[in-house]
Amino acid sequence: MGYYPIFVEMQGRSVLLVGGGHVALEKIGKLVQSGARVTVVAPALIEEVRTFIDRGEAAWQPRPFAAGDTAGFEVVMVATDNGAVNTAVADEARANGIWVNAADDLNNCDFILPSLATRGTIAIAISTGGTSPALARWLRERMEAFLSDEVVALGDLLAEVRREVRVRDRECAATCDRTQSPPPLLCKECPNRIATDRWQEVIDSEVQALLGRGEYAEAKAHLVATLGIDQPLLARARE
């Protein structure tokens, strides 16, 4: 196995989901939430899966999987407990160059789904390479406890300040003849460039204490001052 951990943009991607039971329910919610265009192929659905169909969030083909069903899809997910069906779907998807995932069936997977701990915009993915779902769940529960209100607020704060830094970067780049296509936008010699390590350093005890007290504006002011982006842009020394 050589799994490479990635987060994939699913907005607008066409996904075939084979199966309509409880395993399918575990898949369809996150697919719909991510903006995927989901088509379910299954002779019957449990009520919870049918709810997504009734709300118009997914389409349904009320029949068993048939040859040719994977054509035109970008991703295929198999949610059945029938090994023969899993293999048939996976073989056809792979022949069409389509990534396929089959629940609890590593031999018929091109990718596996991690256990996710999520809050706000933060997502922590946990995987044991498909070897121990119980351990992945155990770890996820502990990561969910880690994602406190303070951590979520910190994520929001850093994202907000980073957007402001990008605006500032573009202002600097507009007057510089060494601008590079993003990323990075600014040249390495730019006095306004914030090094990657600097972002780590500014997550200090003061920021965390302010967020812990719910003082978001004060935490932002401290972060902005520490990064120095509350000061006028500096000109690069000319050679």
Looking at the fold, whether 185 and 199 belong to one and the same domain comes out as yes
Q: 3-state class of 151 per DSSP? A: helix
Residue 4 lies in a domain: no
- The tens digit of pLDDT for each residue in 178-231 reads 877 776 678 778 888 888 899 999 999 999 999 999 999 999 999 999 999 999
Query: What's the domain count of the chain?
Result: 3
Answer yes or no: is pLDDT of 1 > 90. no
For 70-131, where are the alpha helices, taking DSSP H only?
A: 83-95
pLDDT for 124 equals: 94
The mean pLDDT of 129-152, rounded to a whole number, is 91
Compute the C-alpha angle 157/161/192, nearest 5°: 150
8 Å CB contact between 235 and 174: no
DSSP 8-state assignment for residue 178: T
8 Å CB contact between 53 and 40: yes
Cα distance between residue 114 and residue 127, in whole Å: 5
pLDDT for 236 equals: 67
Cα distance between residue 136 and residue 195, in whole Å: 34
CATH number of 45's domain: 3.40.50.720
Looking at the fold, whether 35 and 21 belong to one and the same domain comes out as yes
Looking at the fold, whether 34 and 93 belong to one and the same domain comes out as yes
Looking at the fold, whether 101 and 23 belong to one and the same domain comes out as yes
- Of the three residues 97, 129, 147, the one that is the final residue of a domain is 147
Domain extent for 93: 14-113
Region label for 200, one of left (φ > 0), alpha (ψ between -120 and 50) or beta (otherwise): alpha
Q: Which two tokens stand for residue 185?
A: 């936008």
Looking at the fold, whether 95 and 106 belong to one and the same domain comes out as yes
Indicate yes or no: pTM above 0.85.
no
Residue 235 lies in a domain: no
- The tens digit of pLDDT for each residue in 56-107 reads 999 999 999 999 999 999 999 999 989 999 999 999 999 999 999 998 888 9
Q: What's phi and psi for 57, nearest 5 deg?
A: -90, -10
Cis peptide upstream of residue 183 (ω within 30 degrees of 0)? yes
Looking at the fold, whether 71 and 103 belong to one and the same domain comes out as yes
CATH number of 140's domain: 3.30.160.110
- The tens digit of pLDDT for each residue in 2-57 reads 888 899 999 999 999 999 999 999 999 999 999 999 999 999 999 999 999 999 99
The mean pLDDT of 126-151, rounded to a whole number, is 91
pLDDT for 193 equals: 86
Answer yes or no: is pLDDT of 238 > 60. no
pLDDT for 130 equals: 78
Residue 8 lies in a domain: no
Looking at the fold, whether 107 and 23 belong to one and the same domain comes out as yes
